Chains A and B, each alone.
Chain A
Amino acid sequence: MNASTLVRLSLRSILRNRMRSLLTSLGIIIGVCSVIVMVAIGEGSQASITENISSMGTNLIMVMPPRGQNAANRLVIEDAEKIRREGVYVSAASGVVRSAATVIGGIGNWQTSVYGVEPDYLRIKEWSTGEGDFFTGRDVAVRAKKAVIGATVAKQLFPDDNPIGKHFRVAKTPFEIVGVLEVKGSNAMGSDQDDIVMVPLSTAIGRLRRSKYLQSIEISAVSEEYMDDAQSEVETILREAHRLGPEADNDFTMMNQAQIIEMASSIAKTLTVLLGAIAGVSLFVGGIGIMNIMLVSVTERTREIGIRLSVGARRRDILRQFLTESVVLSLSGGLIGIILAIALSVFLESAVGLRAIISPLFILISAGFAAAVGIFFGYYPAHKAAAMNPIDALRSD
């Protein structure tokens, strides 16, 4: 009996019990659908994280306080200066402190993030001012009370006026607005990048914070190929600045963009696998449903099996017939599941804004997996059918 006859035969017997077949496949439909959607959401968030980190800056190297509870943060504004001055592979560097603060001025007040940075920061972020100017190195040196604000802050405080030259307060300190940043929009995670105020690093340390230590130093390497050179150069400079002996551990941590992406996406990958595995359980349960119905079907069709054996079917013909039936059942369930999953992902993206990425490869894998479930769970019932004694089978009613 050839493959097309087998498939035709099994389709017919599946369609003969439409409702039952549908309910049986439902387990597979839900299983495949949830596996695909879960993995798609996992992949989507992974991609979002990667993009987000990529948008943090160009050829970025971050220096942060050391990890561990007892380790003291010793990063200061002079370290950033030294890196900028001495780093051959460094094209830009800026110390960074940031805090949440309420800014008051214009028509009211607004809760936002205030960043203390140096002029290089703008270049690291590939950002620029839309109106006015950024503060200068001299402004940092003299702790000028100048601020550059993001478009969102500008809109909230000065909806009708040009904010350049206006004043506002951060805590008790008045600042003059010298520039408005170009609109950048939301990042990949959906947070508004224009909701920001930037002030000179020295001013932020002197006026807005109690500590002189930096939260990070962000550095741009001259090009992607010199990332490693830049990183070791920065390390050398900082060790020298902190007077660390050859034996001493670094009193800071460094990470480059590639490492950050790798770390974050490995977390997302684990999440994806976990979600997929949980959904996989439902696929397994669906497989058991198929086995159950196939066992019922084999019992119901004992006489048919007897008839087929009596006209010369070999045992493996019977095995193939029932195996084909369970594979067709699970595979069609799988295909419906795939279609549902695609629809659901489109819906999630458009209605909920949840990013879901379905790769064609994964669709193929799921279809293959559904077929494998059919073979795995169909084998036992099919084997039972094929092992029947023809005389007993013919006698059954």
Chain B
Amino acid sequence: MAVIELKGIKRHYCLGEVTVKALDGVDVNIERTEFVAIMGASGSGKSTLMNIIGCLDVPTEGSYILDGLDTSGATDDGLADIRNKKIGFVFQGFNLLQKTTALENVELPLLYDRGGRGGDAAKLAKAALERVGLGDRLHHIPNRLSGGQQQRVAIARALVTRPAIIIADEPTGNLDTEMSHEIMRLFTELNDSGITIVMVTHEEDIAGWTKRKIMLRDGRIIGEARGQDGGAA
């Protein structure tokens, strides 16, 4: 069963006279344990698509079923709960809370957990940080961590709630090549352990780590490729 089912997704921005069609009819299914790269030129609608998949944004038109759950018609609170339970975000700019330790950053989603996992926050967060190889950096604040380490804290934060999918918008965009590949290696490990990952990237060699590539142009899918073809070798 597909964990993500997008049908006829449109996202139009009305800017007075003109209408920007950031997404203009996207149909795609992503299966559980897939590792997908979304590619395309700047302005092709990649981030817009990620925001919709991540329930930060809602489509102007079309239907989105996440993990068997129809998201259309969900309230603001409903979307927040979906983000909390089913989705882990990894951003280009890490988006960690400053002056807050790695452990506390990772605990953050659990503080908003309405299923009562808040009590185990510290334990779960520690486990997640150990999983991304930062067991010895629990009490470091972001300023004291390298870019790659910060991104791994962000990944631990995305993991800690055991979401259905992790979505990452240019997760390696702010990292040098070596660190980028380190992050991709981590993603591959996580994917091998059964986590579904959807990521955006510009770079072919980064996309090469994934198992499926979806090409966007002007808000439409123009092509797809499957199989690993480089990078990871």
Q: Is B171 interfacial (CB-CB < 8 Å)? A: no
The binding surface of chain A is classed by DSSP as helix
Q: Is A263 interfacial (CB-CB < 8 Å)? A: no
Q: Which listed residue (B84, B85, B95) contacts A306, Cβ 8 A?
A: B95
User: Do B80 and A315 touch (CB < 8 A)?
Assistant: yes
Q: Is B67 interfacial (CB-CB < 8 Å)? A: no
Q: Mark A1-13, 1 if CB is under 8 A from B, else 0.
A: 1100100000000
Q: How far is the CA of A289 from the CA of B204 in the complex (A)?
A: 53
List, in ascending order, chain B residues with CB within 8 A of A394's CB.
Answer: 56, 91, 95
Q: Is A303 interfacial (CB-CB < 8 Å)? A: yes
Task: Point out which of A1, A304, A312 has the most chain B C-beta atoms below 10 A from its C-beta.
Answer: A312
Taking the closest CB of chain A, its distance from the CB of B46, in whole angstroms, is 14
Q: Is A308 interfacial (CB-CB < 8 Å)? A: yes
User: Do B111 and A5 touch (CB < 8 A)?
Assistant: yes
Q: Is A180 interfacial (CB-CB < 8 Å)? A: no
User: Do A314 and B95 touch (CB < 8 A)?
Assistant: no
Q: How far is the CA of A203 from the CA of B157 in the complex (A)?
A: 99
Q: Is A111 interfacial (CB-CB < 8 Å)? A: no
List, in ascending order, chain A residues with CB within 8 A of B173's CB.
Answer: none
User: Do A311 and B51 touch (CB < 8 A)?
Assistant: no
Task: Point out which of A1, A309, A314, A391 has the most chain B C-beta atoms below 10 A from its C-beta.
Answer: A314
Taking the closest CB of chain A, its distance from the CB of B84, in whole angstroms, is 2
Q: Is A16 interfacial (CB-CB < 8 Å)? A: yes
List, in ascending order, chain B residues with CB within 8 A of A316's CB.
Answer: 77
Taking the closest CB of chain B, its distance from the CB of A4, in whole angstroms, is 11
List, in ascending order, chain B residues with CB within 8 A of A317's CB.
Answer: 112
Taking the closest CB of chain A, its distance from the CB of B121, in whole angstroms, is 10
User: Do A311 and B76 touch (CB < 8 A)?
Assistant: no
Q: Which listed residue (B51, B57, B97) contacts A304, Cβ 8 A?
A: B97
- Residues B141-192 near A (CB distance < 8 A): 157, 161
Q: Mark B121-146, 1 if CB is under 8 A from A, else 0.
A: 00000000000000000000000000
Q: Which listed residue (B56, B99, B111) contacts A310, Cβ 8 A?
A: B56
User: Do A1 and B57 touch (CB < 8 A)?
Assistant: no
Q: How far is the CA of A2 from the CA of B56 in the complex (A)?
A: 24
Task: Point out which of A304, A310, A390, A391 has the most chain B C-beta atoms below 10 A from its C-beta.
Answer: A310
List, in ascending order, chain B residues with CB within 8 A of A310's CB.
Answer: 54, 56, 83, 89, 95
- Residues A299-357 near B (CB distance < 8 A): 303-304, 306-317
- Taking A307-B97, A308-B112, A311-B108 as known contacts, 20 extra A-B pairs with beta carbons closer than 8 A to each other, sorted by chain A number, are A1-B111, A1-B112, A5-B118, A303-B95, A307-B95, A307-B96, A309-B56, A310-B83, A310-B89, A311-B84, A311-B112, A312-B80, A312-B85, A312-B109, A313-B84, A314-B76, A316-B77, A317-B112, A390-B56, A391-B51
Which residues of B line the A interface, CB within 8 A? 51, 54, 56-57, 76-77, 80-81, 83-85, 89, 91, 95-97, 99, 108-109, 111-113, 118, 157, 161
Question: Would you give 30 A-B contacts (Cβ < 8 Å), ordered by A?
Answer: A1-B112, A1-B118, A5-B111, A307-B95, A307-B97, A308-B108, A308-B112, A309-B56, A309-B80, A310-B56, A310-B95, A311-B83, A311-B89, A311-B109, A311-B157, A312-B81, A312-B84, A312-B85, A312-B109, A312-B161, A313-B80, A313-B112, A314-B77, A315-B76, A315-B77, A316-B77, A391-B51, A391-B57, A394-B56, A394-B95
The 8 closest A-B CB pairs, nearest first, are A312-B84, A311-B109, A314-B80, A312-B83, A312-B112, A313-B112, A390-B56, A314-B77
